[in-house]
Amino acid sequence: MLKLYDAEVSSRLLLGTARYPSPAILAEAVKRSGTEIVTVSLRRETAGGRSGGAFFEMIRSLGVRVLPNTAGCHGVSEAVLTAKMARELFGTNWIKLEVIGNHDTLQPDVFGLVEAASILSADGFEVFPYTTDDLVVAEKLLEAGCGVLMPWCAPIGSAAGPLNPTALRSMRAHFPDIPLIVDAGIGRPSHATFVMELGFDAVLLNTAVAGAGDPVAMASAFAKAIESGHEAFGAGMLEPRDVAVPSTPIIGKAVFA
């Protein structure tokens, strides 16, 4: 089981709810992924409360936990206010904290992130910070009260996969007891397997599933890939070596010459 603050979940896939071809495909992808946590957001309501309400009623019908985000926030005060409004709207202390620092890469503003995480943690939030793979920032986030870290492995929506495996490996080594979730940059199931084999606790996906030709099938593929990587990590993998090692024992081999 994966423990995130006081919650225990068995699925190690967290799924975003944006960019699906239709609400029906989103609902089916959530079911097929086996996820127990989906991310949601909040935006200006223009249809008198009806459009957001309809969306959220559908999410509630799926029986999953929601992790609201502060996507699109570029400053501390904006992110903190959005988090407070999300708590009121969704009735949860969980917040996926995003403080964006760069328009092109959507790289987190890690200085603002630490400040906002500190404010929100003190206010009773359980913060899931979208951060980089920087160890010092990670330390500061833990000091700020975060009990989970969510480093990117590549820019949001890039599908580039793990760009810096060394940094991810280093995070795992430095924070053996902190839940680590790769958030952003995963493009295909093999990327997810790779980070799970490094010992990451979970993967948060959106575009890789929603943007696939068949999002429902891709949700299923990712679920298997993540489970596979996690099981392999626990099973203890061989380290690569430069010389061959015969897999068939040579003791007792017949000698014909």
Partner 1 sequence: MKLIVNGEHHDLIAPTLSELLTVMEYEGDWLATAVNGEIVHREDRADHALNDNDRIEILSPMQGG
Distance, in Å, from the CA atom of 136 to the CA atom of 130, rounded to the nearest integer, reads 14
Distance, in Å, from the CA atom of 191 to the CA atom of 185, rounded to the nearest integer, reads 9
Closest by alpha carbon to 208, among 13, 59, 11, 65?
A: 13
118 binds partner 1 (CB under 8 A): no
186 vs 196 by CB, closer to partner 1? 186
Contact 80, 119 (CB under 8 A): yes
Distance, in Å, from the CA atom of 44 to the CA atom of 184, rounded to the nearest integer, reads 24
Q: Which of residues 198-237 bind partner 1 (CB under 8 A)?
A: 206-207
96 is catalytic: yes
Q: Please name every residue paired with 126 in a beta bridge, in sequence order, or none if there are none.
A: 94
Q: Which of 96, 140, 224, 253 is catalytic?
A: 96
CA distances from 169 to 86, 128, 162, 205, 239 (A): 33, 20, 11, 20, 14
Q: Quick one: which of 1, 10, 48, 239 contacts partner 1 (CB under 8 A)?
A: 48
Segment contacting partner 1 (CB under 8 A): 42-50, 117-125, 226-234, 245-253?
A: 42-50
107 binds partner 1 (CB under 8 A): no
46 binds partner 1 (CB under 8 A): yes
49 binds partner 1 (CB under 8 A): yes
Give the residues lining the site for partner 1 (CB under 8 A): 16-20, 26, 39-46, 48-53, 55-56, 59, 68-69, 71, 77, 81-82, 84-86, 88-90, 156, 206-207
Catalytic residues: 96
